[in-house]
Chains A and B, each alone.
Chain A
Amino acid sequence: MDWIVHKLWLIPALPLLAAGLSALLRQRQRRLAASLAIGAMVLALGLSCMAFASALQHPGHGAPVRQGVNFFWFQYGDPQASGAAVWLGWVLDPLSAIMLVMLSLVGLLIFIYSIGYMAEDENLTRFFCFLSLFAAGMLGLVIANSLLLLFICWELVGLTSYLLIGFWYHKPSAAAAAKKAFITTRIGDLALLLGMVWLYSQTGTLLFYDGGNGCLETSALARLVTQTTVFGMAVSTGISLLIFCGAIGKSGQVPLHVWLPDAMEGPTPVSALIHAATMVAAGVFLVARVYPLMAAHPASVAHVPGPLQVITWVGALTAVFAASIAVAQMDIKRILAYSTVSQLGFMMLGLGTGGVAVGMFHLITHAFFKALLFLGAGSVIHGCHEEQDIRRMGGLRLLMPVTFGTYAIGMLALSGFPLVVSGFWSKDAILHSANGWSVSHWPFYLGAFGALLTAFYMTRQVCYVFLGSARSSRPEEALSGSEPPQVGCYEVHESPAVMTIPLIVLAAFAVLLGFVGTPAWPWLQGFLNGQPSAPAPNALVEPEVLRLMALSSVIVLSGVALGWRLYGRRKRTEGIEPDVLERIRPDIFALLSRKYFVDEVYEASVIHLNAWWASACDWLDSRVWASVVLLASYAVIALSWLNRLLDEYVVNLGFDGGCRGLREGGTCFSRLQSGRIQSYLRVIGVGLAVLVLLLMWGCHA
């Protein structure tokens, strides 16, 4: 085993240390906090690259090589009887290696970008503290070899997500969004916890891989699939579905997607890092990690396992659902947020139909180009002085050339523009596997429609923001008369180099990463599955592959063309005017722009029910329980009065009387001792006389 496997814990520990140290810094020590966080990330990136190299050196033969260290955490109960030990551990396999490199690289770039973006915020120290804490949690999550350790890190990233969404907590909307994100993901996490407990009760271990005894290894899986629970469902299916609920919450799948768009209230680097590139992908990663459990089915049954079907359907529905909402949004970050939800749906679709490699390929490429898009959006927002409404932008291509260039690459990657960008290859892999799914063709159709919508809304957004001519910024300023209309949003400026350089690096990755997983040389897929792969250019020209590539190219190009036709050619100079779609079909546009009224439905159902239940509990509390408590307290008061009377008039009086008697008796007797010697003598004399008389009387007798 390599040195790096033993030291793998250092990768999350370094950012954790940086977070701890910067928590101790003062608000003014901004430079130190930033350098701590970035230094820790650089070191983590170096270690991650070494881990990646180590994973590369051990090519698997048919199955991925897993090297890990498990350690004893604590023991509960009596070891001889029913108690058991809890073990944690970390593992280095292709999956965690590639995630480590992706996370630390994207994280580092976003950290650097944050210096520029957050330059004017007075709480930079706190920001970097939270970011480092997040990086620690996320890096720990991917190397975890125990569902328990994974869950701990999972909750840690959930916490930092909450903290960072609510970073500007003085804004009520940000505080509300933070709470919404935290509570919504908690619903999924509860299911995940239940699944974890169930898994533990069935297998007695939460380690994924433990030399044949782990819960994802053959013996445990064989046991899990043979046992059945309610409705004849295999135990593995039940556990998988519960774990998948956790992934639904974290990855913003339908129906728990509502928190992710609201999470855009946080600073843009946070949106890029947590709510686009990494944390929301944790759900996808979780499914990939426990894929053997999800895919487990009895050998006798040939059909696709139930959990994978559920994952596929949820993913496909989410992909289309969120993409259609994104079409009608006006906030630059919300469009990207819905596109993230949609792309996460694509990843789930890929996982469900094509396995780990397909989903993870899209996860990796998406992380880069979505981080790029968010950082580009941040750059636009920064340049336009916190303006987020795309209707008030326009013509930025000349004013912000670097941002425009990189954003265009990101947009092409997200749309899946043929051949040149990574998004095309990863999305193509998903569509390809969806096409070959044996259960139904509908996920493929949904995915293809989602791809069309993606190309369309991204074109729309780019047209609004960068193309056309500049629109005046705000209505009140447009109306303010005497001065000539401003050119551009305000004084629009290109962002500083500290922000543009990460954009350029990410753009390079957004283009290049696609070539690690093309059908001509599916290196990444081979790496993840532990099978050596070699360049096979002929695979590209196989009729089926070629047909699908052509189809997806046509879909993407028609989406782009449609967007261009509707939005690109028009010169809009006025500030706020109705969207083109809104003029064509106002009813559908309203439905989409209100996000299918999901929030309203939740408001009317879950939240209303919850509020009703809370007020019912409050009524019960204030009426019934309060009166019971009041009665009890009156009874106690009455008893204490009784007690007091008893004390005062029985115990006290008796005792006082006794004391007084004793004192008076003492006074009486003390008079005898007068101190006069003669009175004593007198007594002695009387006594003597009595004695003499007695004696004489006795002699007589």
Chain B
Amino acid sequence: MTQLTAYLLVSALLFAIGLAGALTRRNAIIVLVGIELMLNAANLNFIAFWRYGPHAYVLTGVMFVIFSIGVAAAEAAVGLALIISVYRHYRTTNLDQIDELKG
């Protein structure tokens, strides 16, 4: 088992935890936390493939991941703002009760 495989396993585990959190929890904030976890699993994947890839001396992987983290931060801010306004409207953050868009 190479080092890359270990990183990939950690990242897959992280993704699975995030996915499980996003799918099973009812609280919107926990779901957002799960989504952040999945995103970071992807970032870890990215950096691992860069580090053990053929062109490790070019800084493209790092650049990409730093951008991705920045975007994730912005996205988390927007998501939290959404959750706050949803909460203000419905007085709850339980996702099962926020089903206005059902058919």
| Interfacial chain B residues near A685, Cβ < 8 Å | 19, 23
Nearest CB of chain B from residue A211's CB, rounded to whole Å: 95
A218-246 CB mask vs B (1 if < 8 Å, else 0) is: 00000000000000000000000000000
Q: Taking CB as reference atom, which chain A residue is nearest B99?
A: A675
Contacts across chains A and B counted by CB atoms under 8 Å: 34
Q: For residues 665 through 701 of chain A, which have their beta carbon under 8 Å from a beta carbon of chain B?
A: 669-678, 681-682, 685
Contact of B102 among A675, A678, A682 (CB under 8 A): A675
B82-103 CB mask vs A (1 if < 8 Å, else 0) is: 0000000000000110111111
A674 B95 Cβ-Cβ under 8 A: no
A681 B23 Cβ-Cβ under 8 A: yes
A-B contacts, 19 of them at CB < 8 A, read: A670-B102, A670-B103, A672-B103, A673-B101, A673-B102, A673-B103, A674-B99, A674-B102, A674-B103, A675-B101, A675-B102, A677-B31, A678-B31, A678-B95, A678-B96, A681-B22, A681-B23, A682-B23, A685-B19
Q: How many residues of B contact A (CB 8 A)?
A: 12
- How long is the Cα–Cα vector from A676 to B96 in the complex, in angstroms? 6
Nearest CB of chain B from residue A664's CB, rounded to whole Å: 14
| Interfacial chain A residues near B95, Cβ < 8 Å | 676-678
Provided the pairs A676-B96, A677-B95 are in contact, do residues A669 and B102 lie with their beta carbons within 8 angstroms?
no
- How long is the Cα–Cα vector from A674 to B98 in the complex, in angstroms? 10
- How long is the Cα–Cα vector from A303 to B99 in the complex, in angstroms? 120
Q: Taking CB as reference atom, which chain B residue is nearest A674?
A: B102
- How long is the Cα–Cα vector from A674 to B96 in the complex, in angstroms? 10
- How long is the Cα–Cα vector from A673 to B100 in the complex, in angstroms? 10
| Interfacial chain A residues near B22, Cβ < 8 Å | 678, 681
- List of 10 A-B pairs having minimum Cβ-Cβ separation, nearest first: A675-B102, A675-B99, A673-B103, A670-B103, A675-B101, A674-B102, A676-B99, A682-B23, A673-B102, A678-B95
Most chain B CB inside 10 Å of its own CB: which residue of A672, A676, A682: A676
- How long is the Cα–Cα vector from A678 to B99 in the complex, in angstroms? 10
Q: Taking CB as reference atom, which chain A residue is nearest B102?
A: A675
A430-443 CB mask vs B (1 if < 8 Å, else 0) is: 00000000000000
What does DSSP make chain B's interface, helix, strand, loop or mixed? loop
Q: Which residues of A contact B (CB under 8 A)?
A: 669-678, 681-682, 685
Most chain B CB inside 10 Å of its own CB: which residue of A669, A674, A675: A675
Most chain B CB inside 10 Å of its own CB: which residue of A672, A681, A685: A681
Q: For residues 61 through 75 of chain B, which have their beta carbon under 8 Å from a beta carbon of chain A?
A: none
B103 A669 Cβ-Cβ under 8 A: yes
| Interfacial chain A residues near B100, Cβ < 8 Å | 675
B1-45 CB mask vs A (1 if < 8 Å, else 0) is: 000000000000000000100110000000100000000000000
Nearest CB of chain A from residue B26's CB, rounded to whole Å: 8
Known: A675-B103, A676-B102, A685-B23. 11 other contacts (CB 8 A): A669-B103, A673-B101, A673-B103, A674-B103, A675-B100, A675-B101, A676-B95, A676-B99, A677-B31, A678-B22, A678-B95
- How long is the Cα–Cα vector from A682 to B103 in the complex, in angstroms? 18
| Interfacial chain B residues near A674, Cβ < 8 Å | 99, 102-103
B103 A678 Cβ-Cβ under 8 A: no
| Interfacial chain B residues near A677, Cβ < 8 Å | 31, 95, 98
Q: Taking CB as reference atom, which chain B residue is nearest A673?
A: B103
- How long is the Cα–Cα vector from A676 to B31 in the complex, in angstroms? 13
Q: Taking CB as reference atom, which chain A residue is nearest B96?
A: A676
| Interfacial chain A residues near B99, Cβ < 8 Å | 674-676
B19 A671 Cβ-Cβ under 8 A: no
- How long is the Cα–Cα vector from A677 to B82 in the complex, in angstroms? 14
Provided the pairs A676-B95, A677-B95 are in contact, do residues A671 and B23 lie with their beta carbons within 8 angstroms?
no
- How long is the Cα–Cα vector from A548 to B40 in the complex, in angstroms? 153
Q: Taking CB as reference atom, which chain A residue is nearest B100?
A: A675
A671 B103 Cβ-Cβ under 8 A: yes
Nearest CB of chain B from residue A685's CB, rounded to whole Å: 6
Nearest CB of chain A from residue B94's CB, rounded to whole Å: 10
- How long is the Cα–Cα vector from A671 to B103 in the complex, in angstroms? 6
Most chain A CB inside 10 Å of its own CB: which residue of B22, B96, B103: B103
- How long is the Cα–Cα vector from A17 to B22 in the complex, in angstroms? 103
| Interfacial chain A residues near B103, Cβ < 8 Å | 669-675
Q: Taking CB as reference atom, which chain B residue is nearest A666?
A: B103
- How long is the Cα–Cα vector from A282 to B99 in the complex, in angstroms? 102
| Interfacial chain B residues near A671, Cβ < 8 Å | 103
Nearest CB of chain A from residue B80's CB, rounded to whole Å: 16
- How long is the Cα–Cα vector from A63 to B9 in the complex, in angstroms? 141
Q: Taking CB as reference atom, which chain B residue is nearest A676?
A: B99
Nearest CB of chain B from residue A655's CB, rounded to whole Å: 25
| Interfacial chain B residues near A669, Cβ < 8 Å | 103
Nearest CB of chain A from residue B84's CB, rounded to whole Å: 17
Q: Taking CB as reference atom, which chain B residue is nearest A670?
A: B103
| Interfacial chain A residues near B102, Cβ < 8 Å | 670, 673-676
Q: Taking CB as reference atom, which chain A residue is nearest B101?
A: A675
- How long is the Cα–Cα vector from A681 to B98 in the complex, in angstroms? 15
- How long is the Cα–Cα vector from A672 to B99 in the complex, in angstroms? 12
Q: Taking CB as reference atom, which chain B residue is nearest A682?
A: B23
- How long is the Cα–Cα vector from A682 to B31 in the complex, in angstroms? 13
Most chain B CB inside 10 Å of its own CB: which residue of A678, A682, A685: A678
- How long is the Cα–Cα vector from A675 to B22 in the complex, in angstroms? 16
Nearest CB of chain B from residue A662's CB, rounded to whole Å: 15
Nearest CB of chain B from residue A437's CB, rounded to whole Å: 114
- How long is the Cα–Cα vector from A669 to B102 in the complex, in angstroms? 11
- How long is the Cα–Cα vector from A676 to B26 in the complex, in angstroms? 10
Nearest CB of chain A from residue B12's CB, rounded to whole Å: 10
- How long is the Cα–Cα vector from A678 to B102 in the complex, in angstroms? 12
- How long is the Cα–Cα vector from A670 to B95 in the complex, in angstroms? 19
Nearest CB of chain A from residue B13's CB, rounded to whole Å: 15
| Interfacial chain A residues near B23, Cβ < 8 Å | 678, 681-682, 685
Nearest CB of chain A from residue B17's CB, rounded to whole Å: 13
Nearest CB of chain A from residue B19's CB, rounded to whole Å: 6
| Interfacial chain B residues near A673, Cβ < 8 Å | 101-103
Nearest CB of chain A from residue B39's CB, rounded to whole Å: 14
Nearest CB of chain A from residue B38's CB, rounded to whole Å: 10
